[in-house]
Amino acid sequence: MTMHLIPSERRPEDAVFRHVIPAGEPYLFEVKAGQTLRLLDLEGNQAVDTLFYSAASPRERYDPQRTLRRQNQVYLSTGSVLYSNLGRPLLTIVADTCGRHDTLGGACAQESNSVRYALGKRYMHSCRDNFLCACLHDGRLGKRDVGANINFFMNVPVTPEGGLTFEDGVSAPGKYVELRAEMDVIVLISNCPQLNNPCNGWNPTPAEVLVWN
Amino acid sequence: MNTLDIAATLYEETVPGGGHLSFILRRGQVLRITDLEGGANVSLMLLNAHQPSERLNLPDTLKGQHTFRLGEGHCLYSDMGRVLAAIVSDSCGWHDPVGGVLNAEEVQAKYGAGRYQELRNGFFRNGTDNLLVELGKWNLGLEDLLMVINLFSKVTVDAEGRFHFVPGHSKAGDHVSLYAPMDTLVLLTALQHPMDPEPQYRPRPVQLTWTATHSDGLSTACRQSRPENARAFHNTDRFHL
C-alpha cells in the first residue's frame, strides 16, 4: 500500500493539554468539537487501542464497518473520517506520520488471550480489562459500549486471498496521528499491554496525548 | 458433514427478501441457511441467549483464526472467548465480515425513495432498522448493534487496502450451516450487501432449516481446524459445567 505521510505544523508547546499514558494503562478523557487530538508513539511500535463516543449522547459511537465502507479502504490514514453508528462524522484524521492504522484487530482481552495463545494466558493484563475499568469508573459507559476499536500504530495487513496477519509495526519513536474532533467526543484509550505478539514490538511503552484548540 | 449426526428437520421457514427474524438456536442445534435464487445476502448477529452482553466479536474471530474470509471450519467467537456458532458446512467459501449494514438515509441515497405508503410491504427496508427492531424484541438497543457478518457475500481487499465486491458470488442452492455449542441468540435480515453495485432494491429470499444433532460430532472439524478453536470450544464446554 502506498503510504502518504502527512506531518503537522502544530507545536507541542502550544498544546492546551498533554498527558503521558504509561505502558499498559487506560485513559478516558474528552475532546471538544474543533479541537485537534494528537496520539504520539513516544518510543515506537506501541499499539494505542482507542474508542470514540459522542459526549452529548454516548450511545452514538465509532462505527468500524460504516467507516471502512464509506472510505472503501481497510486501513485508516490522513483524510479518513471516523463515522458514528448514526452516520455522522465523529473525527477526521488530519495528519499522520505513521501511514497506516488497524481497524480489524480489535483489542486484546483475558478471554481472547486464552483462545489465541494458551488457556493459562487468561490472567495477563489486557486492553478490554482496561476499557472496562475506565468505563465503570467514568459511569457513563459499560461492557455493552465496548465494540470494535481502532488500533493506532498497529499493522494488520489483509491479503487479496483473505488472509489476516499481525506484523511488526510500521511505527517508530516519535510517530503520531492527529484527529480533528467534529463533535464533542469521549476518547477511551488502552495503551496496549499485550506481550504475546509483536503489536507492541514485544515491549509496551508509554504514549502521549496532546490537544490543541 | 457426517449426516449420521443429524436428526430429523425440526422446522423450516422462508425469509423473504427484506425480512428480518430473531430466535434462540439451542445448544446442539444446526441452522442451515440456503440461498434460494442466487445473489442472496444475510446480515447476521449472534449473542449469548442468556447474557446478551456477550456477543459476536468479529475482531477476535478474525485474528484468532488469522483470516479475513469466513467459511467452513471457522468458529464465530464471542467476546468472552467462547464459540457462539461453528460453520460446519458451507458451499460458498467466503462470507464477508466488513461490509456492515446500511441505514435509512444510505438506502434512500442508493435506491431512491421507497416508502411503505406507496409500496406497502415491498418498501425499501434497511439493515440498521431491521436489526434494531429485532434487538428491541429482546430488550436490547443501539449499543448492541455491532459489526455484522454478511453471509453469501465476498469482498476482497487489494494490495492498496481497497475493497472489491465480487458480484454473483452465491448461486441458487448455496448454503451455510451454523452449529451452536451454546444457546445462541440469532438475529438476521435478508438484504442486499451494502457494497453490491446493483442499482435496484431487490433483496433475495433465503430458506432457514433447523435440525437437532445427536452428538457434537459434526463440530469436530471446527474444533480441530486450529488450536485456537480447540481452546474456544474448551471455554464453551467449561461454561456448561
Taking only the tens place, the pLDDT of each residue in A105-117 is 999 999 999 999 9
In B, minimum Cα distance to A69 occurs at B99
* pLDDT at residue B8, rounded to an integer: 81
- Rounded to whole angstroms, the Cα distance separating B238 from B82 reads 9
Residues of B in contact with A160 (CB under 8 A): 156-159
Task: Quote the cell numbers at residue A111.
Answer: 478471554
**Interchain CB contact of A96 with B (< 8 Å):** no
Q: Which strand (E) or helix (H) includes residue B87? A: strand B83-90
What phi, psi does B117 have (nearest 5°)?
-55, -35
Beta partners for residue B13, in sequence order: B208
Beta partners for residue A36, in sequence order: A180, A212
Q: pTM of this prediction?
A: 0.96
Taking only the tens place, the pLDDT of each residue in A164-208 is 987 777 789 999 999 999 999 999 999 999 999 887 888 999 999
* pLDDT at residue A2, rounded to an integer: 61
3-state secondary structure at position B61: helix
Report the candidate in B28, B25, B31 with the shortest Cα–Cα distance to residue B12. Answer: B31
* CA angle centred on A85, ends A81 and A90, rounded to 5°: 35
Interface touch B67/A162, C-beta < 8 Å: yes
DSSP strands (E only) in chain A: 17-21, 26-31, 36-41, 48-54, 81-83, 89-96, 150-152, 175-181, 185-191, 207-212
Low-confidence ranges of chain B (pLDDT < 50): 1-2
Q: Which of A104, A115, A162 sits opposite B59 (nearest CB)?
A: A104
Q: Are B17 and B42 in contact (CB under 8 A)?
A: no
The amino acid at residue A86 is: L
3-state secondary structure at position A124: coil
Taking only the tens place, the pLDDT of each residue in B108-133 is 999 999 999 999 999 999 999 999 99
Residues of B in contact with A128 (CB under 8 A): 79
Interface touch A69/B228, C-beta < 8 Å: no
Taking only the tens place, the pLDDT of each residue in A3-38 is 779 999 999 999 999 999 999 999 999 999 999 999
Name residues whose C-beta falls within 8 Å of residue A113's C-beta, 6 or more positions apart in sequence: A121, A122, A124, A126, A196
* pLDDT at residue A35, rounded to an integer: 98
Interface touch B147/A119, C-beta < 8 Å: no
* pLDDT at residue B5, rounded to an integer: 52
Q: Are B91 and B176 in contact (CB under 8 A)?
A: yes
Question: What is the bridge-based pairing of β-strands A175-181 and A36-41?
Answer: antiparallel
Mean pLDDT across chain A, nearest whole number?
95
Interface touch A105/B79, C-beta < 8 Å: no
Which DSSP letter does residue A213 get? -
Res. A1: pLDDT tops 70: no
Q: Mind giving me the DSSP string for chain B?
A: --GGGEEEEEEEEEEPTT-EEEEEE-TTEEEEEEESSSS--EEEEEEESS-TTSBB-HHHHHHHTTBSSB-TT-EEEBTTS-EEEEEEEESSS-BBSS-----HHHHHHHH----HHHHGGGS---HHHHHHHHHHHTT--GGG----EEET--EEE-TTS-EEE-TT-S-TT-EEEEE-SS-EEEEEEE---TT----S--PPPEEEEEEEESSSGGGHHHHHS-HHHHHHHHHHHHHT-
ipTM above 0.90, yes or no: yes
The amino acid at residue B144 is: D
- Rounded to whole angstroms, the Cα distance separating B85 from A173 reads 42
- Rounded to whole angstroms, the Cα distance separating B88 from B213 reads 12
- Rounded to whole angstroms, the Cα distance separating B115 from B112 reads 10
Length of chain B: 241
Name residues whose C-beta falls within 8 Å of residue A183's C-beta, 6 or more positions apart in sequence: A33, A54, A55, A56, A88, A89, A90
- Reported confidence tier of residue A95, pLDDT bands at 50, 70, 90: very high
For A:130-169, CB contacts with B below 8 A are 143-148, 156, 158-160, 162-166
Report the candidate in B110, B109, B216, B204 with the shortest Cα–Cα distance to residue B151. Answer: B204
Q: Are B98 and B163 in contact (CB under 8 A)?
A: yes
